[in-house]
């Protein structure tokens, strides 16, 4: 659920939302804080498919301690022709006000291909305000933290953790604030907070939501982009700590909890059909299904895509 960058820490909306989320968590039943499998994920196993050279996709489904649908894309940063991009500045750009124009993750990918850019994977990234707002409209957005697109600052840093892509393709995850030197950073996106630090998942409550997580391996060779679906019987969602557990399972040493909730969306490019295809099952319209009859969900649920203030794309040139 996107949060306003400059709303009061204990606004009525946040208090109401927190109470609702807590009630949902209690209704779903108390569950262990850790749901990840033991050990490291086998990226050479049969549940892995190649999306492009150096880019692999894994899908994991669990029934215990609850139903979860988890998708993770691992990007080998040594891949030839690899680069990254994010949502550019709005045409009428104003810092801390009108920084981007909201766009679904699939529309973000479609726009890249229309411009001749071979984007193979895209995922939602930073939170935005104002919210609540029409969930599917291409409206102006103000981003939560540092965002840089093609070397241009889209949103200034504000003390949240960021994924930085520097000249030469070097990646790092670090806290960025007003003292951050942005020189040499070509792409940056930010999240709410670290969920994995130095190989250790952070502590969290048991509130369950759809989640988006970005992870980086200890040697910085692999970037992990992960979604965990939620708010449905088919996938009930995870806590922030569990996002860290799963990122670690897939090979991350550092991880950031990105914007989640209805914004959580992961997309791939299907070269055969020349179309942007959903990998996960988003609930962009904000509707919940876990408190309804499972039969209604099975009959009526359809993925809905939120227009997000910020998306992140993976490009492989020469294909």
Question: Per the structure block, which two tokens stand in for 169?
Answer: 């393709």
Residue 93 has pLDDT above 90, yes or no: yes
Q: What does pLDDT average to over the chain?
A: 90
d(CA 262, CA 247): 20
Percentage of the chain exceeding pLDDT 70: 88
* Span 140-187, pLDDT tens digits: 999 999 999 999 999 999 999 999 999 999 999 999 999 999 999 999
* Band of residue 45 on the pLDDT scale cut at 50, 70, 90: confident
d(CA 281, CA 283): 7
d(CA 151, CA 294): 47
Cβ-defined contacts of 40-46 (< 8 Å, 24+): 40/249, 40/251, 41/72, 41/249, 41/250, 41/251, 43/74, 43/251
For residues 236 and 297, is the Cβ–Cβ distance under 8 A? no
Helix (H, G, I), strand (E, B) or coil at 185: strand
For 24, other C-beta atoms within 10 Å of its C-beta total 19
Question: Per the structure block, which two tokens stand in for 85?
Answer: 């991009």
Which residue from 73, 258, 79, 86 is spatially nearest to 169, judged by alpha carbons? Answer: 79
Residue 37 has pLDDT above 70, yes or no: no
18-27, 103-112, 298-307, range with the lowest pLDDT:
18-27
* Band of residue 5 on the pLDDT scale cut at 50, 70, 90: very low
Residue 14 has pLDDT above 60, yes or no: no
- Residues 280-285, mean pLDDT to the nearest whole number: 98
Which residue from 66, 68, 67, 70 is spatially nearest to 57, judged by alpha carbons? Answer: 70
d(CA 272, CA 263): 27
Pairing of strands 100-101, 266-270: unpaired
Which residue from 287, 248, 278 is spatially nearest to 135, judged by alpha carbons? Answer: 287
pLDDT of residue 38: 74
What pTM, to 2 d.p., does this model score?
0.89
Peptide bond into 120 cis (omega under 30): no
* Band of residue 15 on the pLDDT scale cut at 50, 70, 90: very low
pLDDT of residue 319: 56
Residue 142 backbone zone (phi > 0: left; psi -120 to 50: alpha; other: beta): beta
* Band of residue 204 on the pLDDT scale cut at 50, 70, 90: confident
For 50, other C-beta atoms within 10 Å of its C-beta total 9
* Span 109-138, pLDDT tens digits: 999 999 999 999 999 999 999 999 999 999
Residue 253 has pLDDT above 90, yes or no: yes
More confident residue, 18 or 47: 47
d(CA 109, CA 252): 25
d(CA 223, CA 159): 22
More confident residue, 319 or 89: 89
pLDDT of residue 40: 95
């Amino acid at each position: 659920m996107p949060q306003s960058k400059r709303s009061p820490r204990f606004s009525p909306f946040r208090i109401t939302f927190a109470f609702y989320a807590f009630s949902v968590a209690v209704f779903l039943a108390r569950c262990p804080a850790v749901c990840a499998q033991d050990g490291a994920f086998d990226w050479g196993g049969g549940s892995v498919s190649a999306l492009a050279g150096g880019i692999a996709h894994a899908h994991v489904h669990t029934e215990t301690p609850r139903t979860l649908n988890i998708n993770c894309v691992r990007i080998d940063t040594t891949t030839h022709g690899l680069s990254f991009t994010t949502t550019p500045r709005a045409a009428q750009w104003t810092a801390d006000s009108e920084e981007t124009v909201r766009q679904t993750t699939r529309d973000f990918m479609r726009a890249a291909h229309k411009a001749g850019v071979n984007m193979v994977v895209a995922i939602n990234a930073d939170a935005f305000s104002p919210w609540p707002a029409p969930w599917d409209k291409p409206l102006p957005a103000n981003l939560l933290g540092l965002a840089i697109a093609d070397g241009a600052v889209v949103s200034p840093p504000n003390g949240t953790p960021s994924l930085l892509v520097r000249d030469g393709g070097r990646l790092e995850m670090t806290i960025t604030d007003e003292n951050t030197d942005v020189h040499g950073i070509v792409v940056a996106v930010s999240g709410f907070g670290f969920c994995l630090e130095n190989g250790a998942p952070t502590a969290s409550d048991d509130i369950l939501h759809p989640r988006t997580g970005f992870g980086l391996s200890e040697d910085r060779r692999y970037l992990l982009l992960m979604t965990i679906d939620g708010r449905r019987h088919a996938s009930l969602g995870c806590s922030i700590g569990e996002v860290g557990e799963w990122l670690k399972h897939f090979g991350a040493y550092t991880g950031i909890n990105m914007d989640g909730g209805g914004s959580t969306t992961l997309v791939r490019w299907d070269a055969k059909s020349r179309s942007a295809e959903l990998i996960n099952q988003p609930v962009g319209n904000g509707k919940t299904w876990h408190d309804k009859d499972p039969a209604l969900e099975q009959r009526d649920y359809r993925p809905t895509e939120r227009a997000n203030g910020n998306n992140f794309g993976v490009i492989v040139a020469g294909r």
